[in-house]
Structure 1
Amino acid sequence: MNQPWIKARRWGLGGVAAVLAAALMAACGGGGSSSSDGTTATTFASGPISGFGSIIVDGVRFDDSGAEIENEDGERGGSDDLQLGTMVEIEGGAIDDSTGRAKALRIRFGSEIVGPVASVASDSTSLVVLGQTVELRPETVVDDSLPADPQAWAGLVVEVHALMDASTGHYVATRIEDKDNALLFKLRGVVAELDTTAQTFKIGDALISYAGVTDLPALFDDGLRVRVRLQTTQVEGKWVAVSIRSGVRKVEDHDVARLRGTVTDLTDETHFEVNGVPVNASAARIDDGPVTAGARVEVRGTAKDGTVIATRVKVLDEDDDAIRGIELHGTVGDLNTEAKTFVLRGVTVDYSGTLIFKDGAEADLADGVQVEVKGRLSTDRSTLTAVLIEFED
């Protein structure tokens, strides 16, 4: 049967500055920070990377050539950490709406889970990692560091970038890759069944001991979202916490804020969280609603006092290109006019089907030509099936 996810190679981004900066999303009362070249960060974006040619997040093509990159703990990162499906938060300059471009100043990346695969569903549409159910969807990117058949993943240690589905408590994977070199496991989730006597709590079905952790987050209690690092071996059925930090996402004030992800918490249709970021949509236009727990949404607005004040919210359908579409920019290589394929950023592009050519024609394709390709990965995960090829200067 055709498997509902995407198999992809690691796609390098090249030219990304890996400079350690102050914490990307540290709360403050100002209206954005400045980069070393004086550019003011006026834009905040959060979501999975959906394309390259710089990096594409929430439909915006961010120039990352001078960006500072770090993980969620403030540790230095680099281009290899930014892959298709990686969950990121970006501070950038103003968005040019005529081109859909902006300059990325700071990029923070982070996954939800690092741990061993305990089991894989017989239909290969989900797996269990550290007591959490992880769903594989058509848009899930599976790195080629893993076997092609998910049934072979049982027992392997993986890293999962994901969105939380609040309606099911499941993690919806945006990217999965091999992590057999992990020195510690990791889990982001909500504290439940806290037992201060036994010094244990649960995230999903994972029972965690925090007896050896002295520095706990403020207001540590049931319902708090946390990030936990764990020893790689269980003790008496418990995962042993090495550190516990708040998992609440903090957002600086920005003139423009864009979110794409799932509703991870819902108070009502106009007050909810997306990817853990609070949203106030009381004055927003809501398209294709209603907003429900676990819904995929795209939010546009401004960020103020740690909350995105939405002007527009769009509820996305599972087949929406905003979820499943992939966009690549780069130079054509290995053109095969007989098979009607070429390679772009390490991905084989199939242009044999029905598609649109813009600012050129099929006859203009040649090795070395700069193009933009939009499409979806084939069900066998071998090629990007193009729906649009645009020739670029």
Structure 2
Amino acid sequence: MNMKSRVSIPLLLSLTMLLASCGGAGGGSVAEGGIRGTGSSVGPVSGFGSVIVNGIRFVTENLGMDDFQGEAGVSTEEDLERGMILQIHGEWRDSGEGEADSVRYDDTLRGPVTGIPQPWDETTRQGRIEVMGFEVNLDALTQTTLADLATISVGQTLRVSGWLRADGRFRASYVGPVTAEDTGEELEGNLSVTGDEPNQRYFVDGLELQILSGAVCDPLQLADGMPVDVEGEYVSGAPFTVSRICNGGPSAFLDASLNDDVQIAGVVTRAFAAREVDSGSFALNGIPVATHGGTEFGDLMSSDINPGVLLQVEGDYINDNGVLTLRADEIEYRDTDAELEGRLDGIDSDVLQSGGVEILLTAFTIRGGDDDDEACPVRFGPEHVGRIQLEVSGIQRSADGGYLEALEIECESEADDSGYEIEGRVTALNDEPGTRTLTILGAVIRVDAGTGFEGLAFADLEGERVEVEYREVNGEYIAEEIESENETDSDNDD
């Protein structure tokens, strides 16, 4: 497959942005190009120099001291980490560049780990922890500044940046340590009010709140179902002592305005439902989203918009029968559904190759370990071929025979020659005797008498999500083991 004609220009732009991201928060004006939007962009940080959010490199050099709003331990731009979810107000252009007028960061949860229902598993890249009793899901896209997600222990104090799902659990985009100086706990959630005045009681997902005098942000009226941001003191087995409670959650984080354009990345909290022939609605981070005849879905089908799925929506706000609603002009899938681990075998123009798979890097790609000795290079070159081990999580794209759009890529400085591991959906089967092959992400892998099967027979593989361990032998890729993943890929939806 030759992807040059399709991706070379946007990929070169993306890599230019990534190259610029390694130069710190320094100079340079926003590149020329038509203004695409002016308003709020909310999403996780994927890179720096200045700050890359939702595929846009926002220049921050002109921000004043009051233009960055953070909190304990994240009080300046220099404290930001990959995966932290920001609100950036400014403008962005068709060139992929933007300029920030203000930047805002707010922890989703900050407090002690009270349980570890599912310790982090590096193989499945899944895990679950509890912070102040709130369950937090960890996955392949969760970024961390801890030594390892597997090192998380009960009693450790963490900050979490993530999304509240429809089932009350959180999905972590970032998990990191909290220093001793970063006092106070914080949580976001939906308020539950029971009883009648003056004996009302307040809860967030079962945790009772003891609200101190003067803690309620003026002119907030506490009501059942209201999304809130709560700061105070947590003690196990006792009500959470609230020193400050304000309107919170994603809707408040957007500073919504009918005059603003909006970019927002987050999880689906209500499944897509058709309203008319050419329109429908769903909810993202609890925010109503409406589609119309001109909405661009990319590779996404409306039937794929289900609770827990990570999407990016771009549009503007409208008043839909009295409800502030995000009218979607573009919807993009931003969740990982495929993975690859193996040696860097080649570079075709600006596309990486490993195990027969072509890997597309974009401005959304988070480069894990950029600050470590085993960092992915700023730009891959011939000197890295055969010497670097890649671990890639991303999106399985079907165009031009299939490729992997990288959402996260990690590199090790020593290549492993033992073979490759791929996880994705089988897009083609060849059942000719003696030449049986399957195709995943564009890689054609031969199946022979030595191939082991777990969960499915060869004839049942087409369309199935599988994990394949394979090797290169005399120019061919030979499957050693094939395992069905359809029974184990629902961790994010539990």
Q: Quote how far apart the aligned CAs of 1:94 are.
A: 3.5
- CA distance in 1: counterparts of 2:384 and 2:83, whole angstroms: 32
- CA distance in 1: counterparts of 2:384 and 2:113, whole angstroms: 47
Which amino acid letter does the alignment assign opposite residue 376 of structure 1? E
- CA distance in 1: counterparts of 2:273 and 2:82, whole angstroms: 32
Which amino acid letter does the alignment assign opposite residue 203 of structure 1? V
Tell me what 2:313 maps to.
Answer: 299
- CA distance in 1: counterparts of 2:363 and 2:131, whole angstroms: 24
- CA distance in 1: counterparts of 2:38 and 2:292, whole angstroms: 23
Tell me what 2:223 maps to.
Answer: 221
Q: Contact conserved, 1:140 with 1:174, CA < 8 A, in 2?
A: yes
Correspondent of 1:46 among 42, 45, 55: 42
- CA distance in 1: counterparts of 2:333 and 2:229, whole angstroms: 28
Q: Residues 135, 384 of structure 1: CA spacing in aligned structure 2 closer, same or farther, 3 A cutoff?
A: farther
Q: Quote how far apart the aligned CAs of 1:76 are.
A: 9.4
Tell me what 2:477 maps to.
Answer: none
Tell me what 1:289 maps to.
Answer: 302
- CA distance in 1: counterparts of 2:135 and 2:104, whole angstroms: 25
Counting only pairs closer than 5 Å after superposition, residues 259-298 of structure 1 correspond to structure 2 as 259-264=264-269, 268=273, 270-283=280-293, 284-286=295-297, 287-290=300-303, 291-298=305-312
Tell me what 1:82 maps to.
Answer: 80
Q: Contact conserved, 1:85 with 1:174, CA < 8 A, in 2?
A: yes
Which amino acid letter does the alignment assign opposite residue 45 of structure 2? I
Q: Does 1:252 align with 2:257?
A: yes
Q: Does 1:325 align with 2:365?
A: yes
Q: Does 1:100 align with 2:96?
A: yes
Q: Contact conserved, 2:113 with 2:132, CA < 8 A, in 1?
A: yes
- CA distance in 2: counterparts of 1:208 and 1:322, whole angstroms: 43
Tell me, what secondary structure is at the counterpart of 1:49? strand
Q: Contact conserved, 1:261 with 1:297, CA < 8 A, in 2?
A: yes
Tell me, what secondary structure is at the counterpart of 1:223? coil
- CA distance in 2: counterparts of 1:140 and 1:274, whole angstroms: 19
Correspondent of 2:326 among 293, 308, 313: 308
Q: Quote how far apart the aligned CAs of 1:245 are.
A: 0.3
Q: Residues 51, 214 of structure 1: CA spacing in aligned structure 2 closer, same or farther, 3 A cutoff?
A: closer
Q: Quote how far apart the aligned CAs of 1:106 are.
A: 1.3
Q: Contact conserved, 2:68 with 2:76, CA < 8 A, in 1?
A: yes
Which amino acid letter does the alignment assign opposite residue 186 of structure 1? E
Tell me what 2:443 maps to.
Answer: none
- CA distance in 2: counterparts of 1:275 and 1:383, whole angstroms: 38
Q: Quote how far apart the aligned CAs of 1:92 are.
A: 1.8
Q: Contact conserved, 1:12 with 1:79, CA < 8 A, in 2?
A: no
Which amino acid letter does the alignment assign opposite residue 140 of structure 1? T
RMSD after superposition: 3.9
- Determine which structure has more spread, i.e. the larger CA radius of gyration: 2
Q: Quote how far apart the aligned CAs of 1:71 are.
A: 2.9
Q: Contact conserved, 1:190 with 1:225, CA < 8 A, in 2?
A: yes
Q: Quote how far apart the aligned CAs of 1:218 are.
A: 3.4
Q: Which runs of 5 or more residues in structure 1 are unaligned?
A: 1-10, 18-38, 329-342, 365-373, 386-393
- Larger helix fraction of residues: 2
Q: Does 1:349 align with 2:375?
A: yes
Q: Quote how far apart the aligned CAs of 1:276 are.
A: 4.7
Q: Residues 231, 258 of structure 1: CA spacing in aligned structure 2 closer, same or farther, 3 A cutoff?
A: same
Counting only pairs closer than 5 Å after superposition, residues 47-196 of structure 1 correspond to structure 2 as 47-68=43-64, 69-71=67-69, 77-95=75-93, 97=94, 99-124=95-120, 125-144=127-146, 147-148=147-148, 150-166=150-166, 168-181=167-180, 182-196=182-196
- CA distance in 2: counterparts of 1:15 and 1:76, whole angstroms: 16
Which amino acid letter does the alignment assign opposite residue 77 of structure 2? S
Q: Contact conserved, 2:56 with 2:92, CA < 8 A, in 1?
A: no
Q: Contact conserved, 1:141 with 1:175, CA < 8 A, in 2?
A: yes
- CA distance in 2: counterparts of 1:384 and 1:268, whole angstroms: 49
Which amino acid letter does the alignment assign opposite residue 235 of structure 2? T
Q: Quote how far apart the aligned CAs of 1:40 are.
A: 12
Which digits, 9 at most, give the CA deviation of each residue in 1:206-240, with x for residues without a partner? 22222545636634222110001122435x62111
Q: Quote how far apart the aligned CAs of 1:375 are.
A: 7.0
Tell me what 2:421 maps to.
Answer: none
Which amino acid letter does the alignment assign opposite residue 316 of structure 2? T
Tell me what 2:6 maps to.
Answer: none
Q: Residues 76, 363 of structure 1: CA spacing in aligned structure 2 closer, same or farther, 3 A cutoff?
A: closer
Q: Does 1:376 align with 2:396?
A: no
Q: Residues 207, 12 of structure 1: CA spacing in aligned structure 2 closer, same or farther, 3 A cutoff?
A: farther
Which digits, 9 at most, give the CA deviation of each residue in 1:185-223, with x for residues without a partner? 101100125345544322223222225456366342221
> Could you state the TM-score of these two structures normalised by the residue count of structure 2?
0.55
Q: Quote how far apart the aligned CAs of 1:103 are.
A: 1.5
Q: Residues 212, 375 of structure 1: CA spacing in aligned structure 2 closer, same or farther, 3 A cutoff?
A: closer
Tell me what 2:206 maps to.
Answer: 205
Q: Which runs of 5 or more residues in structure 2 are unaligned?
A: 1-20, 28-34, 121-126, 275-279, 339-360, 386-405, 416-494
Number of aligned residues: 317
Identity %: 21
Which digits, 9 at most, give the CA deviation of each residue in 1:158-210, with x for residues without a partner? 110011221x3211111111114232110110012534554432222322222
The runs of at least 4 aligned residues of structure 1 exceeding 6 Å deviation read 320-324, 381-385
Q: Contact conserved, 2:111 with 2:185, CA < 8 A, in 1?
A: yes
Q: Contact conserved, 1:349 with 1:384, CA < 8 A, in 2?
A: no
Tell me, what secondary structure is at the counterpart of 1:138? coil
- CA distance in 2: counterparts of 1:383 and 1:377, whole angstroms: 13
